[in-house]
A and B are shown apart, each in its own frame.
Chain A
Amino acid sequence: MKVAPGEFFLQGNEACVQGALASGVRFFAGYPITPSTEIAEGLAAKLDGKEGVFLQMEDEIACISAVIGASWGGVKSMTATSGPGFSLMQEAIGYAAMSETPIVIVDVMRGGPSTGQPTRASQGDVMQTRYGSHGDYQVIAFAPASVQEMFDLTVAAFNYSEKYRVPAFLLSDAEVGHMRGLLTIPDKLDIIGRKEKGIRRSDEAYDVPDELVRPFPVFGKGHRTMVTGMTHTDNSWIEPEDVKVHQELVKRLSEKVLRNRKDINKWELMCPGSKTMIVSYGSAALGAKEVAASDDKVGLLRLKSLWPFPEEPIAEVARNCDRILVSEMNLGMMYSEIKRVALENGCKKVELLSKIGGDPPTPSEFRHKLREMGVI
């Protein structure tokens, strides 16, 4: 499925569909849920059986299971959901991490817990993305803040999931998913394909990035692959009782992501060197952008990726400022992580502007908070 280059006026969720198609998605399984449904609808229109398969399934557990199954068939596969569906997917996300299956999961976040606010934005799933399944594992997650980034970071999610054989997430929200704006699709995109076992490519981008990532043995090609969620050796011997095998496997699953933080992490920096820096992401950062653009005392570090945790840019910012204001649409989830890194790196004060209920913090709410802090 080729995507036509050019400029388009689209909804965020529609831009995600374009990004998935541009990345070469060949399988999508979904279940209707607000506010992510437009992604399923968009792909239902495009994946007609010949260009790829769209499947509406009985629940979100079935969806993510089928997506993992499809990935072992050798195709790029994804699902899209929101809070309650995302919670249902957690066990299988752990399976994807353990079996090192490249898949993309889009979570258009809405207010929780439980059914909460189906039509309103939130950033309440950031920790569920990182810790939602049992056991130790690492994932890759991006946080778009515009229609353009819904496209760009969907492509990034596909690329990094293939590169490191991990589940990758697009953590959008109802605000970004439903906003309309300009999307520019470039003539040429860097797309990373499946690094298949037994196929050597000259293209650098297809090479396994380091010794921690194994080539992917696609089903039906005579590899006689065994895939399991149980503790296993490199050649898939099930060894649930072997301490050493478990340690080596689980540490490698984390290390292959953590060691490549510099390759994965993305951010935007406005007015670096300001004594007060706002650290934010997704739609919570929209108001902060306006403040940083208009007030020279305030800078902004906008995180475009959340996991693996971008310690380096936060540490760099913390070393050069006096105080940090973290803004997010939950009661302080990334705040504790950001605060830890900032304090370790000499920043004196880390405050939180938290807003739940569905509306992103406005520029005037940022200014009010900054006045309280004595910054402006």
Chain B
Amino acid sequence: MEIFDFYRKDRWPHVFCPGCGNGAVMNCFYRAFNELGLELDKTAFVGGIGCSSRIPLYINSDALHTTHGRAIAFATGLKLAKPELKVVVFTGDGDLGAIGGNHFINGCRRNVDMTVICINNNIYGMTGGQASITTPHEFLSTTTPRGNKEYPFDLAEIAVAAGANYVARWTTRHVHELTKSIKAALQKKGFTFVEVVAQCPTNFGRRNRMADPTQMLEWMRESSIRRDKAKANAVDHVDLNLEGKITVGEFVDRNRECYEELIGVSKHG
């Protein structure tokens, strides 16, 4: 499958800014999906509201572009009503971790079979650069003009604690590792979660002395620390940016029985 069989060329140009990290994630996702030989007509993509949540509408498949924060809840209904569908959610840090936080933790807990890709750009990009629940401490945004006094969520660690079957975090610098993790997530039954720390040069980098996308990628490269090494350093994972580090790697890979199996769901309609 060529990339423009996968993505809807007739929807180009897309809404993403020059230098946005979404393109890298879309590319990695396409590769993973294609290499696994998955079928578009047997897959549905669900998004909430925000830049990354628009990705489903660019994929040449069934797409449910929903309300802000509720993508996982919509996906839960869709999957349980049509269990033969593979369901993939594209979401962002604000959509998943702030307004949709409750659905996120309960989605991990319930363990309905779906893959959630969260593109975490540490900012509300679509609305013009307000602080999000993953904006690092003391970083600038339009709503934290004196630096962010709050501390960020660690989405991957939340997913681990809440019970997801597979959890990984990478940045857009780690395209090979990311593709591999997306493949693993798509293949595993149950709730799987891949967080990608991605650059938003327009609304995050520009206000934090990284206006050039390459500066942001360099920041990610310098800040990333593999999870096994981070563990050795006894980093507290609840704070993504403690000591200025982004912990990357596979966080969990387990086989809790998924919800559909537990309730013996069969095909309906």
Contact = CB atoms under 8 A, between A and B. Distances in A.
Nearest to A221: B41
Contacts of A59: 102
Interface string B227-269: 0000000000000000000000000000000000001111011
Interface stretch (B54-62, B123-131, B190-198): B54-62
B65 interface: yes
A92 B81 contact: no
A69 B62 contact: no
Contact of B263 (A49, A74, A226): A49
Contacts of B263: 48-49, 53
B126 to A, nearest CB: 12
Interface string B69-84: 0100111111111101
A225 B77 contact: no
Given A220-B85, A224-B40, A225-B63, A70 B70 contact: no
A71 B80 CA distance: 10
Contacts, number: 146
B67 interface: yes
B65 A65 contact: no
A145 interface: no
| Dominant secondary structure at the A interface | mixed
A248 interface: no
A141 B24 CA distance: 47
Interface string A241-267: 000000000000000000000000000
Given A220-B42, A227-B63, A65 B81 contact: no
Contacts of A74: 81-82, 268-269
A104 interface: no
A66 B82 contact: no
A72 B67 CA distance: 15
Contact of A53 (B57, B80, B85): B80
Among A52, A68, A218, A219, find the residue whose CB has the most chain B CB atoms closer than 10 A. Answer: A219
A86 interface: no
B117 interface: no
B64 interface: yes
A110 B81 CA distance: 31
B81 A75 contact: yes
Contact of B77 (A29, A95, A194, A238): A29
Given A26-B269, A62-B70, A226 B65 contact: yes
Contact of A92 (B70, B102, B265, B266): B70
B269 to A, nearest CB: 5
Among B41, B77, B84, B263, find the residue whose CB has the most chain A CB atoms closer than 10 A. Answer: B77
A69 B75 contact: yes
A55 interface: yes
Interface in A48-100: 48-50, 52-53, 55, 57-59, 61-63, 65-75, 77, 91-92, 95
A58 B81 contact: no
A3 interface: no
A115 B46 CA distance: 34
A95 B49 CA distance: 12
B106 interface: yes
A371 interface: no
B106 A27 contact: no
A222 interface: yes
A227 B64 contact: yes
Contacts of A49: 263-266
Contacts of A95: 66-67
Among B63, B70, B80, B265, find the residue whose CB has the most chain A CB atoms closer than 10 A. Answer: B80
Interface in B92-109: 102-103, 106
Given A219-B85, A238-B57, A73 B77 contact: yes
Among A50, A57, A72, find the residue whose CB has the most chain B CB atoms closer than 10 A. Answer: A72
A228 interface: yes
Interface string A129-141: 0000000000000
A221 B39 CA distance: 12
A230 interface: yes
B44 interface: yes
Contacts of B265: 49-50, 53
29 contacts: A49-B265, A49-B266, A55-B77, A59-B102, A61-B70, A62-B73, A62-B76, A62-B106, A65-B66, A65-B73, A65-B74, A68-B74, A69-B64, A69-B74, A70-B81, A72-B62, A73-B78, A74-B81, A75-B82, A77-B81, A194-B269, A219-B82, A220-B44, A220-B84, A221-B41, A227-B65, A228-B63, A238-B57, A238-B65
Given A26-B269, A27-B268, A219-B85, 17 more contacts: A26-B81, A49-B263, A50-B266, A63-B73, A65-B73, A66-B74, A66-B80, A69-B66, A69-B77, A74-B268, A75-B268, A91-B67, A218-B269, A224-B61, A227-B65, A229-B66, A238-B57
